[in-house]
Structure 1
Amino acid sequence: MGFTEYLKKWKRLIEYVVWCRKFFISLLLTLILVKFWYFGSVYVSNSSQQSKRPISVQRCMEDRLLPFHLEEAEGNANIYNELQTGDPEYNGFLPMVGNGLFALTLAQSPSIYLRKSRMLSLSVGWSPIVDVAKFGNDMDEAVVTHFVTGIVHKYTCYSSGLLTSTYIYAHRSRPNLLVQEMRIVNPSDENIPLKLIDPVVNLWPSANSRLVRVLETKSEKSLYHLISGVVKDDQINVRQDVVLCLLRKSVPHILQIEPRKSVIVEIPTFVHVETIPFGSYKERRNNIEDRCLESSKNWTAANFASIKQEHINAWFSLWETGLYISHSKAAGALNGNKINATIYYVLSNVLLHNNASCCPQNSTDIVPKNADYLTVSEGCYGGNHHTLPAVNLWKDLKTFKEVSEAVSLWLLTLEKQGCHKFIINGAFGVLQAMILSFGGFRFNSQHLEFKIDPKFLHRDYHFRRIRYNDRTFINVTVTLQDDNKAQLGVALDKSDKPYFACDGGCIEEPVELKSSPVYFPVKLTEPITSILYITSDRSHMELIKDTLHVHKIVEAPAHDHHVIALHRHGHHLGGLPVLFWASICFLIIVFHLFLFKLIFNEYCDKQDRYKGRYAKVSL
């Protein structure tokens, strides 16, 4: 009898184990189904707007935006689609072009903006951009701001197959020129009459318009709208008026797009801005309009492509200097897309060169040739703190108010931190000042210092083409090693003589820099000093260590693993998602609860079960 009960006990134990296995498998399947249901519902809610549009419209827009997805991931472009989200709060950065003389927003009540104090914030309340009337209800529209080229791309796809592509830019090196290029494609077999919406019929208050003929080629004249008027602002000096004069090419009201054909419409606009004594506009109007007409003399329709390339090259030359920062998944972390967007907006508010209303072409000098660059740069951003952690400088940039606040605060910060000489010398100088501020770089006497607290070096950085002088550019990188320690890399992008560098404290022999990176450990000193020194004077560098007066120099400690994990994965738990770890914890808890119940039933409650069984047998 004892042996039989022993076998029955093991049988019940096996049945419990099998039941537990079934329960855990069912629970796991339930969790998987819940997970897929959750993410599936999120996907459906996010794509509900897209699903309402025909497949042809979605495919058309996807083809247009495909080249920009990688650019957006790298922080070089921004995609803005107000039709899909319906709320600017969930859109990207505000589409805008600018060159220091004027700015033009292309969403949220598009308008030209003129200079007011440090930035372009005086709203005209009117935009010269020609638009296409809606051609059917099924459509999709997206606006792409390409920071690297300074061009805004606007795409509109219709269910009929009609596609309109508009390219808009405020010329970087010709600040009086705004260009709009429209390309309309009709892939259907029918002729499409397309109506154009010309904003000339509804100007801003006090503005007037008349038609004039402008010589575009040696023998051909075209019709242009000559528009001029006073731009009012209650906060501006009442003793002065700001006058805006535009010369914009006239466009037809109806465009006939033949079957399987495309049409290109090029619309140049010449912008002239003057500040005159209050109330003198009427008597000065003719002279102002004559000067506006004069600004179009160097323009010919034949060199449209070369002028566009000139604009792109000017932006390319600006972006040769910049900052790369590794992407962080931490909540609220600053990433490359917002950094590049902020740089773009700030540069769009500054002339390429501030020495003339129309900048010298094909010039990249940020200071006059007879000026000493080190004299201009010395004192710029004293290195007391760097600007990357400064939350107030990094706005969301979704509205013009946020953009103008960010630009104003940046220019004010740089000016008050000793970079006013850079700002005076135009966009190249402003960009150099911003890059110096990102890392707390400082020109001091005869050397360049990298003055930043090592505790901030928990991400990868690459500072491109820091300008040491007119003929020398330096690249500085910060790389996190496998042991979570930061390492410095310094390379010469271009140089006119030998250059040397030393790390924190400068107790080691100076190392000559090359075109390939030379690496240094990050050292922590007491008191805290710069972590890197660069100069062309070796003897000067050998004397630096005698002026630092540090009494302790150690290699900077490794960063905490949870900090690195937070940036790389968005949480402190490592590479696996939070849901995975939560599921594991839940399963472990449930398993132990059922194990406890199994043990309790077998060893604590068995006498009651035996009594019930014996009573049943006795009957």
Structure 2
Amino acid sequence: MNAGLLWQSFIQQLEKIDFEGKIRLLRRYPRRRLALIAALVIFLFYVLSRSSSSTTPSQNHQCVLDQIKYWDAEIEDYNAGVDSYSVNFVGNGHFGVDSNGYLRFASNNSRVLDVETDFVPGVSSVIENQEEIGTAHLTDFFNGISRKIQCTVVDGECACVIVSFYAHRTRPNVLVQDIKVVNPTKSTIRLRAERPAVSSQWKQSKSGDAVVSMRTFNTPSFNVSVAVKREETLRFICVVAQKESKLEQTDLSSEVIEKFSTVRSLTTLDSEHKDGWKKLHSTFFSLVPSKAPDAINGDRVNATKYIILSHTKALTLEVGVPQETVKILELSARRNELCYSGHSTLLYPSRLWQDWSTPDDLNTIAGLWLLTLEKRGCSNVLKTGAVGVAQAFVQSLAAASFHDSHLEIGLDAGDLHREMSFGGIPIGSATGTVGNVAVYIKINEENRPYFLVSSTAQLYACDAGCLDVPFTLGTTAIKIPVKVTKPITSLLYIATNRKHLEQLKSAIHVSEVGAAPAHEEDLLELHRSGTGGGLPTSFWVMLVLVLIVFHLFLAKLLWSEWRKGDMTPYNPYLRSRYSYVRPH
């Protein structure tokens, strides 16, 4: 008999007892036993409510989950986000497409794509004759692709449509949409695709003395049939260009047609886009997941980085940008003194780490970050576009700033209670050799933090105060202790020149230098489990086992009492009878 039937039977037996019988029943049991029975009743209610509230996903939603499994590795590494962790937006700084499907541009002197048009460049699609469809959104932060997954059950199998969008990272006028139909069923799937309605009014403009009338016509809808056990992919390419004051309408149209003819035949379109995003991620930041309240984790960091870069032009990576312009921008970025000045942006709560649900939220987040980085000394780095923005973003998280040709890591030793890593930050003068540095922050068995530092070229590093002989950095990571000074100085200094650090030793004036204190075990446990308790795991395991045994015993006791029926130890009739025959 399960818990539900046992509880129902118990209630039925209890209802058969009159009011006086219930009073006698209460008096019959000691208070401690009544308390145990009450605990069991509460436990049964809890189990029943949990079992009734737990629901299994629908078949359509299960189909969606099966498709999402192809990106499990990216999701686990926080390189992709699903649904509430996704960002329903694509952009390359020149244009974007928001969650409503509208094309967006940047207004004059705006840092973000804040102008919403009423033009929908995408193609909508739906499986015909299917009313119930499971849907999910997935954003690939690493490759700059937004996906919408739609699935339905046909003949007991999953038929899915996966719509992918990306604004090309290195070709600033290209928007690509792929519609992939997966049909493993025994029936032919019909897909209806159409362009949303757009303005069809005649518009007039002047070209000299001539009046030119133009009209935009809707693209008719069309159907696609996908045969049994087949997959089909449809690709739609849209070329976007803005009208400048110097160009006439006819010149702009010719430009768009020419670019469309060029990209439609390219077989490297996808690889160029992914390579562009890969270069943006050469400057990286990651940290160990934390379950502490209000902690920033990799999902929010990577999503926020994606939002910022989607609103920023990649000027040094784009096709068609003259090499002379690229060199000027890169030299400007090397004049990076005082970028980034300030405390780490890895603080929460903060206006920098807002949630997003609308296109305006994305504009606010991107605009606030770009303004913060600019005002914190990174204006020269930001001029290179998305490459410089990615670098400044990582420096702000690590409180890493350039001063007189060396890099300082200004994190507070008390904040190093989570293991993290960052790298890809170029170090070097405007004319000298540049090396990219990578820094890993670890915690040893004594709960003390330390650095593991490596570089792609020969660099030099010293710890807080620079009182010891500088370390020589290379491709093999070097362990450097974390020290604290009085007054407080940066924890780590990295430069291209050993002599520079030796001279820096005389310029850093401190009165005390010592090893960073060990972190409290409760604080580390708070990040690991979300609770700050110091009790060992074995204690909680034993407690759970004891509770299980206790409740089993309690259930057996209640069952035995219920089986006894009315064989009560107290019966007034029998007592009077026995007292009558008792000898005096």
- Identify whether the pair has TM-score above 0.5, normalized to the shorter chain: yes
Shift of 1:538: 1.1
Shift of 1:574: 4.5
User: 1:142 corresponds to which residue?
Assistant: 136
Query: CA 1:423 to 1:248, structure 2 compared with 1: closer, same or farther past 3 Å?
Result: farther
Structure 2 distance, partners of 1:42, 1:75, is: 30
Structure 1 distance, partners of 2:474, 2:66, is: 44
Structure 1 distance, partners of 2:328, 2:272, is: 22
Counterpart amino acid of 2:294?
G
Matched, 1:195 2:192: yes
**Aligned-partner SS, 1:185:** strand
State the Cα deviation string for residues 21-56 of structure 1 (Å, max 9, x = none).
Answer: 999997887787566556545543xx5xx33xxx3x
Match of 1:562 among 513, 518, 522: 522
Where in structure 2 are the equivalents of 1:117-132 lying within 5 Å?
Answer: 117-132=110-125
Shift of 1:416: 0.8
Matched, 1:288 2:227: no
State the Cα deviation string for residues 545-565 of structure 1 (Å, max 9, x = none).
Answer: 211111111112112222222
Shift of 1:405: 0.8
User: 1:238 corresponds to which residue?
Assistant: none
User: 2:225 corresponds to which residue?
Assistant: 256
Counterpart amino acid of 2:475?
S
Structure 2 distance, partners of 1:439, 1:506, is: 19
Counterpart amino acid of 1:328?
S
Match of 1:425 among 361, 376, 384: 384
Shift of 1:60: 2.5
- TM-score for the superposition, normalised by structure 2: 0.77
Matched, 1:534 2:497: no
Query: CA 1:524 to 1:192, structure 2 compared with 1: closer, same or farther past 3 Å?
Result: closer
User: 1:488 corresponds to which residue?
Assistant: 451
Structure 2 distance, partners of 1:20, 1:367, is: 86
Shift of 1:354: 6.4
Match of 1:174 among 143, 146, 171: 171
User: 2:181 corresponds to which residue?
Assistant: 184
User: 2:571 corresponds to which residue?
Assistant: none
Structure 1 distance, partners of 2:217, 2:495, is: 52
Query: CA 1:23 to 1:433, structure 2 compared with 1: closer, same or farther past 3 Å?
Result: same
User: 2:269 corresponds to which residue?
Assistant: 307
Query: CA 1:417 to 1:404, structure 2 compared with 1: closer, same or farther past 3 Å?
Result: same
Query: CA 1:125 to 1:570, structure 2 compared with 1: closer, same or farther past 3 Å?
Result: farther
User: 2:483 corresponds to which residue?
Assistant: 523
**Aligned-partner SS, 2:466:** coil
8 Å Cα contact 2:192-2:223 kept in structure 1: yes
User: 1:72 corresponds to which residue?
Assistant: 75
Query: CA 1:463 to 1:398, structure 2 compared with 1: closer, same or farther past 3 Å?
Result: same
User: 1:349 corresponds to which residue?
Assistant: 311
Shift of 1:197: 2.1
**Aligned-partner SS, 1:179:** strand
User: 1:499 corresponds to which residue?
Assistant: 459
- 71-80 vs 182-191, which moves further: 182-191
Structure 2 distance, partners of 1:41, 1:478, is: 46
Matched, 1:336 2:276: no
**Aligned-partner SS, 2:231:** strand
**Aligned-partner SS, 1:573:** coil
Structure 2 distance, partners of 1:317, 1:355, is: 9
Where in structure 2 are the equivalents of 1:469-480 lying within 5 Å?
Answer: 469=428, 471-480=434-443
Matched, 1:110 2:94: no
User: 1:152 corresponds to which residue?
Assistant: 146
Match of 2:351 among 367, 373, 392: 392
State the Cα deviation string for residues 280-319 of structure 1 (Å, max 9, x = none).
Answer: xxx9332322222232242233x34x21111111111211
8 Å Cα contact 1:350-1:426 kept in structure 2: yes
Structure 1 distance, partners of 2:396, 2:309, is: 15
User: 1:414 corresponds to which residue?
Assistant: 373
Matched, 1:100 2:124: no
Where in structure 2 are the equivalents of 1:19-30 lying within 5 Å?
Answer: none
- 185-194 vs 537-546, which moves further: 185-194
Counterpart amino acid of 2:262?
N
- 286-295 vs 307-316, which moves further: 286-295
**Aligned-partner SS, 1:320:** coil
Shift of 1:185: 3.1
- 526-535 vs 33-42, which moves further: 33-42
User: 1:606 corresponds to which residue?
Assistant: none
**Aligned-partner SS, 2:240:** strand
Shift of 1:367: 5.4
Shift of 1:404: 1.2
Structure 1 distance, partners of 2:78, 2:518, is: 29
Counterpart amino acid of 2:254?
D
Shift of 1:274: 2.6
Where in structure 2 are the equivalents of 1:399-478 lying within 5 Å?
Answer: 399-469=358-428, 471-478=434-441
8 Å Cα contact 1:565-1:575 kept in structure 2: no
Structure 2 distance, partners of 1:41, 1:482, is: 45
Counterpart amino acid of 1:256?
S
Counterpart amino acid of 2:351?
N
Return 5+ residue gaps in structure 1 as ranges. 1-18, 81-90, 209-227, 230-244, 278-282, 591-615
Structure 2 distance, partners of 1:522, 1:576, is: 29
Match of 2:281 among 319, 325, 340: 319
Query: CA 1:574 to 1:327, structure 2 compared with 1: closer, same or farther past 3 Å?
Result: farther
Query: CA 1:536 to 1:37, structure 2 compared with 1: closer, same or farther past 3 Å?
Result: farther
Shift of 1:276: 3.6
8 Å Cα contact 2:487-2:510 kept in structure 1: yes
Counterpart amino acid of 1:257?
V
Where in structure 2 are the equivalents of 1:26-105 lying within 5 Å?
Answer: 36-37=47-48, 39-40=50-51, 43-44=54-55, 47=56, 50-51=57-58, 55=59, 57-80=60-83, 91-105=84-98
User: How much identity, in percent, do the aligned residues show?
Assistant: 27
User: 1:511 corresponds to which residue?
Assistant: 471
Counterpart amino acid of 1:509?
V
Counterpart amino acid of 2:224?
L
8 Å Cα contact 1:124-1:204 kept in structure 2: no
Query: CA 1:411 to 1:419, structure 2 compared with 1: closer, same or farther past 3 Å?
Result: same
Count of equivalent residues = 505
8 Å Cα contact 1:93-1:396 kept in structure 2: no
Structure 2 distance, partners of 1:246, 1:297, is: 22
Counterpart amino acid of 1:268?
I
- 538-547 vs 290-299, which moves further: 290-299
Shift of 1:64: 0.7
Structure 1 distance, partners of 2:320, 2:39, is: 67
Shift of 1:132: 1.4
Return 5+ residue gaps in structure 2 as ranges. 1-29, 206-213, 551-578
Structure 2 distance, partners of 1:359, 1:582, is: 68
8 Å Cα contact 2:200-2:215 kept in structure 1: no
Counterpart amino acid of 2:136?
A
8 Å Cα contact 1:507-1:545 kept in structure 2: yes
Query: CA 1:514 to 1:153, structure 2 compared with 1: closer, same or farther past 3 Å?
Result: same
State the Cα deviation string for residues 180-228 of structure 1 (Å, max 9, x = none).
Answer: 11122333444444321212xx1258797xxxxxxxxxxxxxxxxxxx9
**Aligned-partner SS, 2:363:** helix
Shift of 1:477: 1.1
Match of 1:547 among 507, 513, 524: 507
Shift of 1:322: 1.0
Structure 1 distance, partners of 2:46, 2:477, is: 47
**Aligned-partner SS, 1:562:** helix
Matched, 1:271 2:240: yes
Counterpart amino acid of 1:113?
R
Structure 1 distance, partners of 2:215, 2:454, is: 47
**Aligned-partner SS, 1:272:** coil
Query: CA 1:431 to 1:133, structure 2 compared with 1: closer, same or farther past 3 Å?
Result: same
